[in-house]
């Protein structure tokens, strides 16, 4: 799930969760790179989501996907690099 930043983020996440439940989406993940955390949501037999959190470093099983392994060190590093300002921007060309 991709959500906006700022004050609308929580509202968007809440609305999406309700929408996913209504449409029977079995599972989804939310990734929070700033907290180095992944939330895994699994639709329970009662039609509501059960939540599991994955945090930390190293390699962990991919929640809900047998055989999938997540390298959290690599994931957090890649996400940090992707959000870092690009070197050699217009202000650097003097």
**What's the mean pLDDT in 1-14?**
67
Q: Residue 13: what pLDDT?
A: 81
**What's the mean pLDDT in 29-41?**
87
* Cα gap 56→72, rounded to integer Å: 7
**What's the mean pLDDT in 59-79?**
86
Look up residue 33 and give its two tokens: 């790179």
Helix (H) / strand (E) element for 69: namely: strand 69-71
- CB-facing half-sphere around the CA of 57: CA atoms within 13 A: 2
Annotated domain spans of the chain: 8-82
- CB-facing half-sphere around the CA of 12: CA atoms within 13 A: 10
Cβ proximity of 30 and 1 under 8 Å: yes
Q: How confident is the model at residue 4 (pLDDT cuts 50, 70, 90)?
A: low
pTM of the model: 0.69
pLDDT exceeds cutoff 60 at 3: no
* Cα gap 53→48, rounded to integer Å: 16
Q: How confident is the model at residue 7 (pLDDT cuts 50, 70, 90)?
A: low
Tell me the pLDDT of the chain averaged across its residues: 82
């Amino acid at each position: 799930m991709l959500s906006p930043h700022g004050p609308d983020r929580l509202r968007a996440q809440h609305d999406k969760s309700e929408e996913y439940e209504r449409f029977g989406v079995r599972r989804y993940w939310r990734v929070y790179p700033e907290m180095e955390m992944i939330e895994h949501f699994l639709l329970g037999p009662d039609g509501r989501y059960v939540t599991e959190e994955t945090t930390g470093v190293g390699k962990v099983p991919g929640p809900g996907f047998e055989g999938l392994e997540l390298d959290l060190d690599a994931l957090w590093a890649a996400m940090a690099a992707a959000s870092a300002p690009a070197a050699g921007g217009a202000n650097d060309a003097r």
